[in-house]
Amino acid sequence: MKRIGIIGLGEYFPDKVLTNQDLEKMVDTSDEWITTRTGIKQRRIVKEGQATSDLAIKASKSALKEANISAQDLDLIIVATITPDMQFPSVSCLVQKALGAKKVACFDISAACAGFVYGIAIAQQFLANSFYKNALVVGAEVLSSITDWKDRNTCVLFGDGAGAAVLSEVKRGGILSVYLGSDGSFADLLKVPAGGSRYPATHQTVDNRLHYIKMQGNEVFKFAVKYMTESAQIALNKAGLSCEDVDCFIPHQANLRILLAVAKKLGLAKDKIYLNIEKYGNISSASTATALCEAVKEKRIKRGDIVVLDAFGAGFVWGACVIEW
């Protein structure tokens, strides 16, 4: 099998900043509660009319530029999102048109916060088997569109943004291992109940606020710690490595307390974990993508480093990926 690696990264965040102080005016909460319970200080929110594809397109253009390839060179576009512009067509088709990528296959995947890791795993298979040469994987979300701004249990957590990666064959390093997992028995703990075929939109579903994220935070917290820890261990094991070999750990930025608990269980020093949750909150599939992009930009990752992407989300789904940079 060919060695496949990431040859370009990009990210995009909308300009509007929503701070904890802004949220204090919207629901019964405080900067102190949000900061100590989640580690989040602010998040980015789209302006009216801005959709997931708008963010995805901007992040994708940056990733292509960094990879130094044109959209014509792409064979595959995968967009991971739980907040598509509309039910169909896919966000990936809207990205394809905007980029002018002529000969690509494209589809969206729904793997919530683990979407980017799932996308990387899928793209790697297509490229390693020589089916395709260059792939674009995007994690993009407008979570503000499914956030109940009257529910203090959830509205303090989420934000909007997009991250993108171009994958291709590399001469050295690259993706060393991938591990993916799931357990649908916990589907009810974190979901948007209505708007699909089970409960299509009606006046009643809207009145009952069923088009917004519903989460049993406490339960989700425990499973996130368990499965993110296990995912990283299994992926490292598959790569023939241990936690001591990790130079930079890029977890899904769900909650600072979750990330610190995972790092502690893995025996990782705090300076090996990349954190940007303070600035952006939880942006689901865009989280690991943008964290990786920023860690590289800030030179927290250098050539030859062992990087672990680790994510967990609604479904439940989880996964990790070990990359030699």
Identify which of residues 10 and 313 has a Cβ nearer to ligand ACO in the complex. Answer: 313
Q: CA dist 119 to 1, 7, 155, 311, Å?
A: 18, 15, 27, 12
267 and 277 in contact (C-beta within 8 Å)? no
**How many amino acids of this chain bind ligand ACO (CB under 6 A)?**
23
For residue 37, how many C-alpha atoms fall within 13 Å in the half-sphere facing its CB? 15
Indicate which single residue of 20, 168, 253, 255 sits in contact with ligand ACO (rule: CB under 6 A).
Answer: 255
161 binds ligand ACO (CB under 6 A): no
Smallest separation, CB 284 to ligand ACO (Å):
5
Smallest separation, CB 29 to ligand ACO (Å):
3
185 binds ligand ACO (CB under 6 A): no
148 and 213 in contact (C-beta within 8 Å)? yes
Indicate which single residue of 55, 236, 314, 320 sits in contact with ligand ACO (rule: CB under 6 A).
Answer: 314
Query: 109 φ, ψ to 5°?
Result: -125, 150
* Positions 225 through 254 that interact with ligand ACO (CB under 6 A): 254
Indicate which single residue of 106, 224, 307, 308 sits in contact with ligand ACO (rule: CB under 6 A).
Answer: 224
199 binds ligand ACO (CB under 6 A): no
- Which strands form 174-182's sheet, in the order they lie side by side? 174-182, 317-324, 306-313, 248-251
291 binds ligand ACO (CB under 6 A): no
303 and 325 in contact (C-beta within 8 Å)? yes
Smallest separation, CB 240 to ligand ACO (Å):
30
Identify which of residues 4 and 190 has a Cβ nearer to ligand ACO in the complex. Answer: 190
Here the tokens at position 74 are: 């792409």
182 binds ligand ACO (CB under 6 A): no
Catalytic residues: 113, 252, 282
How would you label 276-296 residue by residue, b for 16+ Cβ within 10 Å and e otherwise? bbebbbbbbbbbbbbbbbbbb
List the one residue out of 112, 199, 110, 224 whose CA is nearest residue 158.
112
> How far from chain centre, in Å, is Cα 17?
19
29 binds ligand ACO (CB under 6 A): yes
Indicate which single residue of 156, 162, 268, 301 sits in contact with ligand ACO (rule: CB under 6 A).
Answer: 156
147 binds ligand ACO (CB under 6 A): no
Task: Give the chain's length.
Answer: 325
38 binds ligand ACO (CB under 6 A): yes
List of residues contacting ligand ACO (CB under 6 A): 29, 33-34, 37-38, 112-113, 152-153, 156, 190, 217-218, 220-221, 224, 254-255, 258, 282, 284, 313-314
